[in-house]
A and B are shown apart, each in its own frame.
Chain A
Amino acid sequence: MPTSSELLTVAKRAAAVMAVVAVAGCAATPEGVDIHDPYEASNREAHAFNKKIDRGALRPAGNVYGALVPDPIDQGVQNFADNLGEPQNVLNYTLQGNLPDAVEHSLRFLVNTTAGVFGLFDVASAIGFAEDDTDFGETLHVWGVQEGAYLEVAFLGPTNERDLAGTFVDMFTDPVSFVVRYPEKGYVTAAKVGGVLDQRYEFGETVDSILYDSADSYAQLRLLSVQNRRFELGQAATTATAAGEEDLYDDSYFE
């Protein structure tokens, strides 16, 4: 988890990118091109840096966390951190004009904070209020902003111009951060750090296979994250008839 000076660096980078985005006016993705990556050279530098951070800090810390913290506890920490994200989900769903999901996530927050003992247990999912996180990047998408260029950002990982702007906004508009004061703020941060370490541990093999076993981990991560994000936003081309994928299904590959 980044220290405050690292956070500052991220914020500075984000601000720099925001400036670029503002100038470029969130460059539209060219029609028919699967991935728009004009900043590949600098993205690859950030990717190499992120791999170093993962190898040197995140992965070992995740392994220690995974080994030391028993399953029920790390699940509780994860739930607690997730629950603290609910007010922001509600805010974003509201901004998207998606009232059913705004209501559902309000109920999730109420149920999990009370019956779920301050969010330690995800009772809401068990009774049918599905967890479907959103963010300001999705809000921008709903407002008609295109994803723009693909970006990999130091510490943040894969994103794009629109979603990075969204991340930046989310950092400063989390309703929880306006309510929670010190020292409770420390617990919130700790839970979020725990959540990140838990995820790194839980998906260790998959993350390792992408970052360390791929012949070109940058290209592999780019492909996965772009497609998955589009799928989350309901704009994925998940069929064999999708534009730009014709060559994958060329008849010459049949014997």
Chain B
Amino acid sequence: MMTPILNNLSRRTVLGGLGASLAVLATPVLALTDAQARSLVNGLVNDVNRVIASGKSEGAMIRDFKGIFGRYGNVPFIAQSALGPKSRELSNSERSAYVDAFADYMSRKYGKRFREFIGGRIEVQGARPAGRFFEVDTVAFLRGENPFALTFVVAERGGERRFVNMYIEGVNVLASERVEIGALLDRNGGQVSGLINDLKRLG
């Protein structure tokens, strides 16, 4: 079958790409039972829906999404993992500047597509342990689209559980961001300051 250029990507994946703004669930619970996984995901979805329903300007919504990202996701982890081993070389001030620029970039990149979430819902299938993490399997139902599979990876640190990654129909969002951040770093000759400037501009 002819599959010009991008159509090899199934619609579920493609659409799912934007789900990364949902890659942000967190909770201060101590045991991730199915019921808790469900309330975790529902909390995230409700927060996102509340922002969308607020009717604020896009800029204000993106600021709100950044807050949700920080509340439910382990942003320092996601940012540093996206940068890879290089993140171990950063000074404290470089690290915090990079993490903040990364959070802005992610919030813009996915937040500006909030319209695709309107009327959407995410159903939790269950939670299970996966090595040092928990994984929450969900199915996302977006308006006018086939349902697609989302798996959230949750890590516990300091008694809090937050998202560190998600898989959208098998596509690893963190790996995708590592490709992106790695290419930006290369473009800047390995200089993190240049990368930070790019992140402020992109997304």
**Hey, which bits of chain A sit against chain B, CB under 8 A?**
1-2, 50, 53-54, 58, 85, 88, 131, 135, 155-159, 167, 170-171, 174, 192, 196, 199-200, 202-203, 205-207, 209-211, 213-216, 219-221, 223-225, 227-232, 236, 238-241, 245, 247-250, 252-255
B6 touches A210 (CB 8 A): yes
Interface 1/0 per residue, B166-203 and A, CB below 8 Å: 01011110111011101110110000000000000010
A220 to B182: give the CA distance in the assembly, Å. Answer: 11
B17 touches A209 (CB 8 A): yes
Interface 1/0 per residue, B1-17 and A, CB below 8 Å: 11111111111011101
B3 touches A167 (CB 8 A): yes
A207 touches B6 (CB 8 A): yes
Chain-A contact segment, one of B54-62, B76-84, B119-127: B76-84
A225 touches B9 (CB 8 A): yes
- The total number of A-B Cβ pairs within 8 Å is 170
Interface of B is mostly: mixed
Which residues of chain B have C-beta atoms less than 8 A from A157's C-beta? 3-8
Quick check: is B107 within 8 A (CB to CB) of the other chain? Answer: no
A135 to B15: give the CA distance in the assembly, Å. Answer: 22
Known: A156-B4, A238-B167. A203 touches B15 (CB 8 A): yes
B171 touches A155 (CB 8 A): no
B171 touches A213 (CB 8 A): no
Which residues of chain A have C-beta atoms less than 8 A from B164's C-beta? 240, 249
Chain-A contact segment, one of B25-33, B37-45, B65-73, B129-137: B129-137
A253 touches B183 (CB 8 A): no
Known: A206-B18, A215-B183, A223-B175. A85 touches B1 (CB 8 A): yes
Interface of A is mostly: helix
Contact of B2 among A88, A196, A200, A209 (CB under 8 A): A196
| Interface size range of chain B in the complex | 35 or more
A219 to B183: give the CA distance in the assembly, Å. Answer: 9
List 4 tightest A-B contacts by C-beta distance, closest first.
A231-B170, A215-B183, A216-B183, A236-B170
Known: A215-B184, A240-B165. A58 touches B175 (CB 8 A): no
Quick check: is B151 within 8 A (CB to CB) of the other chain? Answer: yes
Closest residue on chain B to residue A241 by CB atoms: B131
A78 to chain B, nearest CB (A): 10
A225 touches B151 (CB 8 A): no
Contact of B77 among A53, A202, A255 (CB under 8 A): A255
The 18 sampled A-B contact pairs (Cβ below 8 Å) are: A1-B4, A158-B8, A159-B8, A200-B6, A203-B15, A210-B6, A214-B180, A215-B180, A215-B186, A216-B183, A216-B186, A227-B170, A227-B172, A240-B130, A245-B172, A253-B80, A253-B81, A255-B77
